[in-house]
């Protein structure tokens, strides 16, 4: 979801900057930087940023602002927590914006849609699963890794659809029939990618996922 600088009215873009900038500064301050102080964890965090830059550059779309791409917000949030994920995904978006994939004036509104909504939904779903379901390895992998990733992508698509409709960038009927349904299909791909990575990390490198604890999910299961 890479909106250009001219699709919406200027007020939308300035309002987005007023919301995104405090959120970004808050994440910079509250992010647990000590968890990536070691070179291995830092390399994983930076490597995920570079990988997602490549993935976000592989997008599909037919009209300005109506693009789709895999997100990776769920696996990033599960691996590093919401604040480091917010900062990392903001850097991903900045990288592809530098590459001409979106407008600089529209950066904040793109960040709120893809990064803000993506990280928020991923964290909310993780907390909900933690509260309502038993701590079991397969619950963590299939619900957090697969199902939550698909829901997060659809939630981002729904937020983008509502914004474009309210701002009258496109007709509601066009968005409902030619844009939003594709996020359901994209959700399957997102679920496969995130689920695969979460499974690999949990099995082989559980120390790469801060939300996964061997003693809680594997002991006596």
pLDDT in tens, the chain (221 residues): 788 888 898 999 999 999 999 999 999 999 999 888 888 889 999 999 999 999 998 887 778 778 889 999 999 999 999 999 999 999 999 999 998 887 899 999 999 999 999 999 999 999 999 999 888 888 899 999 999 999 999 999 999 999 999 999 999 999 999 899 999 999 999 999 999 999 999 889 888 999 988 777 766 55
Give this prediction's pTM. 0.93
Residue 67: what are its φ and ψ, rounded to 5°? -110, 155
- What is the token pair recorded at 80? 């590093």
List domains and CATH numbers for the chain.
10-217 (1.10.1760.20)
Tokens read off for 52: 């997602």
Tokens of 40: 């291995």
Q: What backbone torsions phi and psi does residue 68 show, to the nearest 5 degrees?
A: -135, 145
Q: Specify the pLDDT at position 220.
A: 53
If we measure between CA atoms, which residue out of 74, 154, 167 comes closest to residue 122? Answer: 74
- Closest C-alpha among 62, 100, 97, 75 to residue 182: 62
Cβ–Cβ under 8 Å, residues 141 and 198: yes
Distances (CA, A) of 90 to 11, 71, 76, 131, 189: 21, 12, 12, 29, 22
Which tokens go with 58? 């592989």
pLDDT value at position 217? 72
At 96, give phi and psi (nearest 5°). -75, -25
63, 164 in Cβ contact below 8 A? no
DSSP secondary structure code for residue 60 in this structure = E
Residue-level pLDDT at 163 = 95
- pLDDT at residue 221, rounded to an integer: 54
pLDDT for res 219: 63
Predicted pLDDT at 3: 87
pLDDT at 213: 81
């Amino acid at each position: 979801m890479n909106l250009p600088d001219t699709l919406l009215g200027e007020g939308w873009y300035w309002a987005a900057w007023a919301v995104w900038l405090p959120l970004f500064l808050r994440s910079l301050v509250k992010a647990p930087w000590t968890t990536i102080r070691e070179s291995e964890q830092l390399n994983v965090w930076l490597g995920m940023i570079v990988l997602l830059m490549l993935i976000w550059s592989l997008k599909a779309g037919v009209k300005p602002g109506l693009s789709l791409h895999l997100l990776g917000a769920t696996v990033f949030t599960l691996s590093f927590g919401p604040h480091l994920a917010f900062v990392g995904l903001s850097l991903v978006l900045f990288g592809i914006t530098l590459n001409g994939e979106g407008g600089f004036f529209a950066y904040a509104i793109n960040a709120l849609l893809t990064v803000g909504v993506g990280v928020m939904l991923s964290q909310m779903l993780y907390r909900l699963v933690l509260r309502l379901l038993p701590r079991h390895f397969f619950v963590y992998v299939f619900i957090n890794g697969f199902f939550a990733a698909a829901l997060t992508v659809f939630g981002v698509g729904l937020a983008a659809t509502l914004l474009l409709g309210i701002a009258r960038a496109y007709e509601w009927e066009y968005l409902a029939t030619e844009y939003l349904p594709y996020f359901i299909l994209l959700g399957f791909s997102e679920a496969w990618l995130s689920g695969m990575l979460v499974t690999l990390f949990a099995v082989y490198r559980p120390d790469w996922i801060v939300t996964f604890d061997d003693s809680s999910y594997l002991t006596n299961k």
